[in-house]
């Protein structure tokens, strides 16, 4: 069994977050969502994602 890559999405727009989440999950990635920079930093205390997709205009 292979390990799926973990992607953290940091996005404050719920529609954009849902679209990204659905596309990446359909491509069989493990996906976590954070709706703010603060929330993302909290998640990063517990996990190390392979990729972070960050909305820089939050």
Domain holding 24, by residue range, is: 6-54
State residue 47's pLDDT score: 97
> Is residue 33 a part of any domain in this protein?
yes
d(CA 46, CA 57): 25
Report the domain count for the chain: 1
Beta bridge partners of 32: 8
11 has a pLDDT exceeding 50: yes
20 has a pLDDT exceeding 80: yes
> Is residue 10 a part of any domain in this protein?
yes
> Is residue 20 a part of any domain in this protein?
yes
> Is residue 1 a part of any domain in this protein?
no
């Amino acid at each position: 069994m292979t390990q799926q890559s973990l992607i953290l999405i940091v996005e404050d727009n719920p529609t954009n977050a849902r679209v990204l989440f659905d596309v990446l999950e359909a491509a069989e990635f493990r996906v976590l969502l954070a709706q703010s920079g603060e929330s993302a930093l909290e998640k990063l205390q517990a996990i190390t994602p392979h990729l972070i997709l960050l909305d820089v205009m939050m």
